Amino acid sequence: MNKAIKYRLYPTTKQATMFANTFGCCRKVYNLMLNDKLESYKLTGKFVSVTPAMYKKDYQFLKEVDSLALANVQLNLQGAFKSCFNKSCKKKTGFPKFKSAKRSRKSYTTNNQKGTVAIIDNTIKLPKIGRVKAVIHRQPNADWVIKSATISQDNDGKYYASVLFEFEQNIISVPISDNAIGLDYASDGLYVDDKGNVGTNHKYYRESHKKLTKEQRKLSRMKGSKKGEAKSNNYIKQLHKVNKIHKHISNQRLDNLHKISTEIANQYDVVCVESLNMKAMSNKGFGNGKSTLDNGYGMFLNMLEYKLADRGKYLVKVDKWYPSSQICHCCGKKHPEMKDLRIRIFTCDCGFTISRDQNAALNIKSEGLRILKSETFAA
C-alpha cells in the first residue's frame, strides 16, 4: 500500500536557488523532448525515442541538477502520449503541450535510491540539495519505506515536499450494516444528509471576495499588468498578495472538507452518494458556477473514498439518473412535478411531507444499501 504525506519546507537561499534551477531544467528537458518528437513525426511519420542524456552535451547546466528528476520528466512525457493515444485510458488529456515558464506548475519528482531521500530529525534529505529544514508534523512508522519525493512551490512562494511511502497493511472489511448515511448534494451547504443536517454553510470564496477584488484592482493598475509590459517590483509584490489570498481560501476549504469527511468516515460504515459530474454542474448556464466550485464537493467525495477504504468501510455511488428527489420515501410513488427545483418541500398524497433534499438523501441511502447488498450477494 502507498501513502503520501506532504511536508512544508524551509530552504535556505542557496537551496531555493537549486530548487528553481531544477524546476527550470525539468521544464527545459520536457520541451526539448516534445519538440524532437514532433520534428521526427513531421519527417518520418513516427515519434522518435528520446532521453534526457541526449541533451546534456549541448546544455551543460543539466548536469548540475538531479538526474532522477530529469528521468521522471521522460516518464511523464511518455505517460502524456499514452493517455492521448491509448483508447483504453479513461481520462483523455489531449495532445501534450509545451510547458510555459510563466504558467506551468513548479515541481519535480525524485526517487529514493539507497537512502538518497530520507527524513532525519526535522529535515528532509534530498539528492543534490542536501538536508532541507522541514516541519515533520507526522512521523512515518518504522516499517514504512520511502519510494519518492515530489518537491513543489506554490504561487504564494511556499515550498512543499510530498513524500511517498510504501508499507504493508491488511485492511479488514467492516460487515455491512444499517449504520449508513445518505448524502444529497446541495449547492448552498455542501450536502444534506438523511437526518436533515446541512454539511456546512461556509462560502470561503464569497467571504473573501471583497478583499480579493480590492487587491486585484490594485494589481490591474500597476506597471506590468498589460501584455508584453515589463513587470515592476510593485507588480510582483502585489501579485504575491493576491496569490496569498487565493491560497488562504483554498486552505480554509481543504481544512473544512478534511474535518467533515473524517467525522463521517469515523461515524458511519456505509456512505451513499450520487455519482455527479461536478464539472458539468459548474457550467455558467446553470447560474451557480461559483457556488458549485466554492463547495469543493468533488474533492469531498475523493476524501471520503480513500478515508473509508483505509477503514475497511464502503462508499456507494448511486447513478446520477436515479430520481431521488421525485420518489416518495414513505410510499414509493413518483412525482414528476418535483423536477422543478423551485419546489423545496416534498408533499405526497400519503400525507408524507418533508424537505426535498432530505427526501432525496433518504432515497439515496435506501438505493445505496440495496446496491451494496446485491453486489455482496452476487460475489
| Model pLDDT for residues 233-282, shown as the tens digit of each residue | 999 999 999 999 999 999 999 999 999 999 999 999 999 999 887 777 76
Let me know: does 303 contact 258? Beta carbons within 8 Å: yes
Higher-pLDDT residue of 188 and 248 is 248
> How far is the C-alpha of 313 from the C-alpha of 315, rounded, in Å?
7
Average pLDDT over the chain, rounded to an integer: 89
- The three cell numbers locating residue 24: 527550470
Task: Compute how many other C-beta atoms are within 10 angstroms of the C-beta atom of residue 364.
Answer: 26
pLDDT at 284: 55
Angle of CA points 203, 209, 212, to nearest 5°: 135
Instruction: Taking the CA atoms of 36, 38, 42 and 44 in sequence, report the sign of the dihedral they define.
Output: positive
Q: Indicate the SS3 state at residue 18.
A: helix
pLDDT at 331: 87
Residue 379 has pLDDT above 70, yes or no: no
Let me know: does 343 contact 325? Beta carbons within 8 Å: no
pLDDT at 286: 57
Residue 378 has pLDDT above 70, yes or no: no
Rounded average pLDDT over 150-164: 95
- Domain 180-203+246-378: give its CATH architecture: 2-Layer Sandwich (3.30)
> How far is the C-alpha of 100 from the C-alpha of 292, rounded, in Å?
29
Higher-pLDDT residue of 84 and 63 is 63
pLDDT at 130: 95
Task: Compute how many other C-beta atoms are within 10 angstroms of the C-beta atom of residue 20.
Answer: 12
> How far is the C-alpha of 185 from the C-alpha of 148, rounded, in Å?
37
Let me know: does 196 contact 186? Beta carbons within 8 Å: no
Bridge partners of residue 191, in order along the sequence: 185
pLDDT at 34: 95
What percentage of residues in the chain have a pLDDT greater than 90?
60
Q: Which long-range contacts (CB under 8 A, 24 or more apart) does 111-118 make?
A: 111/68, 111/72, 111/147, 111/148, 112/145, 112/146, 112/147, 112/148, 112/149, 113/68, 117/146, 117/148, 117/149, 117/163, 118/146
Q: What is the DSSP letter of 198?
A: B
The residue extents of the domains of the chain are: 2-166, 180-203+246-378
CA of 45: how far to CAs of 27, 39, 50, in Å? 25, 9, 16
The per-residue pLDDT for range 308-343, each reduced to its tens digit, is 999 999 999 999 889 998 999 888 889 989 888 888
Rounded average pLDDT over 112-140: 94
Enzyme catalytic residues: 184, 274, 357
Residue 92's pLDDT band, with cuts at 50, 70 and 90, is: low
Higher-pLDDT residue of 22 and 198 is 22
> How far is the C-alpha of 374 from the C-alpha of 354, rounded, in Å?
29
> How far is the C-alpha of 197 from the C-alpha of 1, rounded, in Å?
35
Bridge partners of residue 125, in order along the sequence: 118, 131
Let me know: does 65 contact 22? Beta carbons within 8 Å: yes
Sequence-distant (6+) residues with CB within 8 A of 344 are 355, 356, 357
